[in-house]
Amino acid sequence: MIKRSAALAVILLGIGSAAHALEFQPLGSGSLGVGGAGVARTYGAMAPYWNPAGLAFAPKTVTVSLTAGAGIRPEGNLAQDIDNLNSAKKGWDHANQADISSLPQALALADAFNALNNTTAKDNLRLTVGAALGAQVKHLGFGLYGTFEGGAIPQPGSTNLTVPTDLASLTTFAANAQTALDGKTVLIRGIALVEVPLSYGYAFDLGKAGKLGVGGSAKYLRGEATSMAKNVGNTGSSDLTKDLTKHLKSSSSYGVDLGLLWKPTGATAVGLVAKNLNAPSFKVDGDKITVDRQVRAGASWDALSWLELTGDVDVVSNSTLVDGIKSQHLGGGAEFHPFSCLKLRAGAYTDLAQSTSGAVTGGLSLGIPWLYFDLDGAYGLGSVKYNKSTYPTEAKVQFSTNVAF
């Protein structure tokens, strides 16, 4: 049995290394509060999403979980540069473009356009939303697990504007500015993915080596995808998030997940999950968004009767909807449960695929054993400037209602 399990793990890793995927979003089960970790610690209603092998060790006969959350991740100067260009264009449009007095407006327009034109893939805006209704009955799991991921980034190709110095060059600048504005666009892409899985987990007794859970999910997938190029001359920063949900095109597919969860002792667990092994794709106008394979490993340890330590890592990097940006999650944390009615969580995570400063996380659970509520959040350690104010590079919040008996 150990040899077979090792072979299955090698297969999962080999499949995952051949392709990349959308980001693996933390969803429910208090995972966000412990650094986005859940592969080796989720055994109830959210196990079909995190790792179906967790169903093999479900401690309750029935659990039901309802969760919702959202996050935003602005990086670099995209939002500020777009608003600066929008303001400069308005000033230029109201100026007498054939008069030397309009040179200040021309200078402002050139500076704003060139700043936006010189952005890279690291200047982007990403938005995530998650909602789920999950259920677990003994070793079976099912439900509706929904995630949304969107991103925006300026497309390359334009050349910088030359600042005019006299009336003769002002006429040339006016023509060049209009051409540049007409040709500069922001690529906006988004996908809302709903998973409807039927999952099952089974535990094998390995004797002195503990127990090994093996699980799988067969999923119906419904995708709502959008892909559009927005002209920067008519775009404000607020349009980037609004347009992520416009012109969505629907299509259906299916997915297959496999997972392992080894428990060498009652207090320790090591998990591995491969999601969307068949790499389903969804079509939009002139584009295709593929939900490629994801592979994530995790571990958990009940260090004390009131303390659990846990962590997850993406085995391979995942693509995102922002061209040129990949993600590879590494995170973990601790959950303190000194009383049956209270749990406190703290953690952190970072992105191994990017030189970002990551985020700190926290959360709590309140309630009685058969009904409790989770509240979790994340706060980016980096900062971006917008309208002369400083904001974190990331912010997330998530709430869950859980029933177990």
**Given this model, what pLDDT does residue 101 score?**
81
d(CA 53, CA 46): 11
Give yes or no for residue 47 having a pLDDT over 50. Answer: yes
**Given this model, what pLDDT does residue 26 score?**
92
Give yes or no for residue 83 having a pLDDT over 90. Answer: no
Q: What's the first-to-final CA gap in the chain, in angstroms?
A: 32
Cα 220 to the center of its chain, rounded Å: 21
CA 131, 20, 278, 54 dihedral sign is negative
Give yes or no for residue 1 having a pLDDT over 50. Answer: no
Summarize pLDDT for 305-322 with one digit per residue, the tens.
Answer: 999 999 999 998 887 777
- Pick 54 or 291 by higher pLDDT: 54
Summarize pLDDT for 95-139 with one digit per residue, the tens.
Answer: 877 777 888 888 899 898 888 888 877 788 888 999 999 999 999
- Pick 143 or 284 by higher pLDDT: 143
Residue 7, C-beta contacts closer than 8 angstroms, at least 6 positions apart:
none
**Given this model, what pLDDT does residue 304 score?**
96
The enclosing H or E element of 2 equals helix 2-16
**Given this model, what pLDDT does residue 103 score?**
86
Nearest alpha carbon to residue 12 among 291, 280, 220, 216: 216
Summarize pLDDT for 50-71 with one digit per residue, the tens.
Answer: 999 999 999 999 999 999 999 9
Classify strands 318-319 and 287-290 as parallel, antiparallel or unpaired.
unpaired
Give yes or no for residue 12 having a pLDDT over 60. Answer: no
C-beta of residue 382 within 8 angstroms of C-beta of residue 395: no
C-beta of residue 363 within 8 angstroms of C-beta of residue 390: no
- Pick 230 or 109 by higher pLDDT: 109
Summarize pLDDT for 137-190 with one digit per residue, the tens.
Answer: 999 999 999 998 888 888 776 788 887 777 778 888 888 888 888 888 888 888
Give yes or no for residue 301 having a pLDDT over 80. Answer: yes
d(CA 99, CA 349): 55
d(CA 170, CA 194): 53
> Under the phi-then-psi rule, with left for phi > 0, alpha for psi from -120 to 50, and beta for the rest, what region is 72?
beta
Site of tokens 């920067």: 232
d(CA 376, CA 396): 8
Instruction: Tally the C-alpha atoms within 13 A of residue 48's C-alpha that lie toward its C-beta.
Output: 32
Coil vs helix vs strand at 181: helix
Lowest mean pLDDT among 41-50, 139-148, 328-337, 388-397: 388-397
Give yes or no for residue 244 having a pLDDT over 70. Answer: no
Beta bridge partners of 152: 125, 188
**Given this model, what pLDDT does residue 2 score?**
39
Topology at the third CATH level for domain 2-404? Porin (2.40.160)
Mean pLDDT in the chain?
Answer: 86
**15, two tokens:** 């499949």
Cα 143 to the center of its chain, rounded Å: 20
- Pick 219 or 4 by higher pLDDT: 219
d(CA 67, CA 28): 6
Rg (CA), the chain: 24
